[in-house]
Amino acid sequence: MIRYNGKGYSSWKEAPVERSSFSQLGAQFSIPIYWKGNQPLLWEETYFYWMSSLRRWRVQIPMSLTPDYLEAQVRALGISIAADEIHLFVLTAFRELAPKADSPLTPLGWVLESRGIYAPSSIVDTYEIELFKDLYLSEDYFATLPASHQTQRDLAQIYAYENGYADCLLLNTQKNLVESAQGSLFLWINEAVVSPDLASGCRDSVLRAAFINALKKQANISVAVRPVSPFELQNAEALLILPPFTGAASVTRYRKKTYMSSALQDVLTDFWTKLL
């Protein structure tokens, strides 16, 4: 079941556009919607994040896209969610028409899909990473948008796959860490959580912002959101990758450095416990 521009379809075959040609409609980006039981999680943050991204993306936003309308669209999918489960929905926005010189402002199209149960943590025995240095990310105003640098992330993940790594870390033009190909990066250094700031060019996300805000409220944890040098990977006691669409993963190895501490995973577990 999908919702395409407010109408329900049992599959992509019934929708007025084929999945294979969906990506040709225009630039697109997706955001996650987390749902527990009968209620959305981080709903206000998610809605306003989507709206601000659409405005920066320069598309015509229908006045009907209110928080209540969007919530009703999720409920209209008719997904039964257990009280103790988190369900993931994905909301994808796209330009219904390609921008032209005489009509650059294009109407918005969107698709809402169910992706099944969301597990906050991904339990793996080995999660080895490496730096991806074939290209460097920009740090401009649009770098934080969901779709920005997606091609670079895809290339980094392909590089990781071809070379036997679970993930790769991306660098910006200043040779500082930005994020991994899959998600936001967090380091545990000397009893403090360190993460690249938005000015470094990392993808902004509701989950990243909520996690950082929750950390800042804990009296026993110091938080530093700032430029991060790749040399700090050797000093870190733990690394955590926080993807928006899949469960977080604790890094086990970077080159000759192994990470044994569960500090960041424990902090993440505490975050989800309080959120739920």
Same domain, 247 and 193: yes
**Statement: residue 105 has pLDDT above 90:** no
Structural domain includes residue 225: yes
Cβ atoms < 10 Å from Cβ of 26:
18
Q: Which of 45, 54, 28, 251 lies closest to 150 in space, CA to CA?
A: 28
Work out the number of other CB atoms within 10 angstroms of the CB of residue 115.
Answer: 13
- 104 and 162 both lie in a single domain: no
Mark which of 84, 117, 150 sits at the end of a domain. 117
Average the pLDDT over 240-257 and give the result: 95
Whether 140 and 269 share a structural domain: yes
Instruction: Mark whether 39 and 140 lie in a shared domain.
Output: no
Q: Are residues 110 and 140 in the same domain?
A: no
CATH number at residue 107: 3.30.470.10
Domain boundary among 76, 96, 117: 117
> What domain range includes position 74?
2-117
| Domain annotation covers residue 123 | no
Same domain, 137 and 242: yes
What are the pLDDT digits (tens) for 43-99?
A: 999 999 999 999 988 888 999 999 999 999 999 999 999 999 999 999 999 887 777
Instruction: Find, among 4, 6, 65, 78, the residue nearest to 35 by Cα.
Output: 78
Domain boundary among 117, 136, 171: 117
Q: Which residues contact 170 (CB under 8 A, 6 or more apart)?
A: 132, 136, 137, 149, 152, 153, 156, 177, 178, 179, 180, 181
Res 272: pLDDT: 93
Confidence of residue 166 (pLDDT cuts 50, 70, 90): very high
Q: Is residue 122 part of a domain?
A: no
Q: 242 and 147, same structural domain?
A: yes
Our count of domains for the chain comes to 2
Specify the 3-state DSSP secondary structure of 142. Answer: helix
Q: 94 in a domain, yes or no?
A: yes
Round to whole Å and give the CA distance between 57 and 147: 10
